[in-house]
């Protein structure tokens, strides 16, 4: 560090600020959003160093410039850069905003409570999420179909991430055989409706979220009502009849659908977003135009499943749901991710929309809901 640039403690910096010095917080915008020294001007270090005149008086104006960051390192580096640009009356605040807050000096804080800032602090440090993204998550409603093997890990991590409302739909009860993989539930809840068990677990994990427990089976009579007000749909179903019905409703209503499936030691994950991108993204029926007969598609109770596999696939689904909610990254829309747990291999298949799809092809009127239970022979 350049010895000619003094480091001053936060109390001294406050006194000089009140005497007319200019205090500049050089942290990134998402960091400043979590709280700044009161009276500080915000200017990210990179922008300040590139064009100091956009934030500061001219170098010869004689105004004392105090620089502050989180701990004191970036502010000293910024001071050195400004010094090289001709600024002379400079100082860096030792210990940065951390020391300022610890000393009880006045802070300008966001309109968020202490629990929110503490609970989601690791998200808030990510520029891709930050305060704005976390508040966006808190406004989201997601439908989670199924509180079983896939729904359990997905629900746990969506709740922990701070998704505002989880609408969980399942008509089953907890059985002992579920506990090998359905980590939402516990031995003392055997016989309890899964949605009630899920609600208890999720509220204990994060009391800030809203859990709408719907003890019902999804069908053509209630699917649109259950999708009302939903931003993202997570498919944790274990049968083709429900999966096709959910896909068709999501296409009709323009809801992104996060798909997951497991069988023995293998799983699949994708995002079907044809409802919002007709002709550009596929739906589930572009991949599987017609459901198989029930005899050709055994479920977990018949074929078995490695207990940790739904955890892996469900976590991938939760990841995709959060990405969709935040509008970050590259969703799996148009891509099918295959998981081979025995070989621990991941393989990706590109999916194209079917221009002749009966449900999502551009210009195709909605054909109405099919009785998939009868169609599949279930």
- From CA 353, how far away is CA 286, in angstroms rounded? 6
Token pair in block for residue 229: 């007000």
SS3 70: coil
Token pair in block for residue 166: 């989880």
Strand partners, 337: 269, 348
Whose tokens are 């469900």? That residue is 314
- From CA 150, how far away is CA 152, in angstroms rounded? 6
Identify the burial level of 145 via C-beta atoms within 10 angstroms of its C-beta, where 0-12 means exposed, 13-18 middle and 19 or more buried. Answer: buried
Whose tokens are 């935040």? That residue is 326
β-strands 335-340, 345-350 pairing: antiparallel
- CA 28-33-38 angle, 5° bins: 100
State the chain's maximal CA–CA distance in angstroms: 84
Is the distance from CB of 76 to CB of 92 less than 8 angstroms?
A: yes
Token pair in block for residue 236: 């944790």
- From CA 270, how far away is CA 313, in angstroms rounded? 10
SS3 291: coil
Is the distance from CB of 194 to CB of 172 less than 8 angstroms?
A: yes
How many other β-carbons are positioned within 10 Å of the β-carbon of residue 20?
A: 8
Token pair in block for residue 34: 């979590």
Kind and range of the H or E element at 338?
strand 335-340
State the catalytic residue, choosing from 69, 250, 283, 300. Answer: 300
Q: Which residues does 210 contact at the CB level (< 8 Å), separation at least 6?
A: 164, 165, 166
Is the distance from CB of 148 to CB of 170 less than 8 angstroms?
A: yes
Active site residue 283: no
Q: Which residues are catalytic?
A: 300
């Amino acid at each position: 560090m350049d010895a000619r640039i003094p480091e001053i403690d936060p109390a001294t910096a406050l006194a000089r600020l009140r005497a007319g010095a200019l205090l500049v917080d050089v942290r990134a915008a998402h960091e400043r959003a979590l709280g700044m020294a009161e009276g500080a001007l915000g200017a990210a270090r990179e922008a300040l160093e590139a064009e100091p005149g956009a934030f500061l008086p001219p170098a010869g104006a004689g105004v004392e410039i105090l620089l502050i960051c989180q701990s004191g390192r970036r502010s000293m580096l910024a001071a050195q850069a400004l010094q090289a640009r001709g600024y002379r009356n400079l100082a860096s605040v030792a210990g940065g905003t951390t020391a300022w807050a610890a000393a009880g000096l006045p802070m300008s804080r966001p309109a968020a409570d202490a629990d929110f800032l503490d609970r989601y602090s690791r998200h808030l440090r990510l520029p891709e999420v930050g305060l704005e993204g976390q508040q966006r998550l808190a406004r989201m409603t997601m439908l989670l179909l199924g509180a079983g093997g896939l729904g359990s890990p997905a629900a746990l991590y969506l709740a922990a991430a701070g998704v505002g409302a989880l609408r969980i739909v399942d008509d089953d009860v907890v059985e002992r055989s579920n506990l090998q993989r359905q980590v939402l539930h516990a031995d003392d809840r055997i016989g309890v409706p899964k949605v009630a068990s899920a609600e208890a677990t999720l509220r204990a994990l994060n009391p800030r979220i809203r859990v709408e427990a719907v003890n019902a089976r999804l069908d053509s009579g209630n699917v649109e009502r259950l999708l009302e007000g939903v931003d993202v749909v997570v498919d944790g179903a274990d049968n083709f009849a429900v999966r096709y019905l959910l896909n068709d409703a999501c296409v009709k209503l323009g809801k992104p659908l996060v798909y997951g499936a497991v069988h023995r030691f293998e799983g699949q994950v994708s995002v079907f977003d044809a409802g919002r991108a007709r002709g550009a993204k596929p739906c589930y029926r572009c991949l599987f135009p017609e459901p198989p007969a029930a005899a050709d598609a055994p479920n977990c109770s018949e074929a078995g499943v490695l207990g940790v596999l739904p955890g892996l696939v469900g976590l991938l689904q939760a990841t995709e749901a959060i990405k969709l909610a935040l509008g970050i990254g590259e969703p799996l829309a148009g891509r099918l991710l295959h998981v081979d747990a025995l070989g621990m291999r991941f393989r990706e298949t590109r999916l194209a929309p079917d221009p002749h799809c009966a449900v999502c092809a551009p210009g195709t009127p909605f054909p109405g809901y099919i009785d998939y239970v009868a169609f599949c022979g279930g």
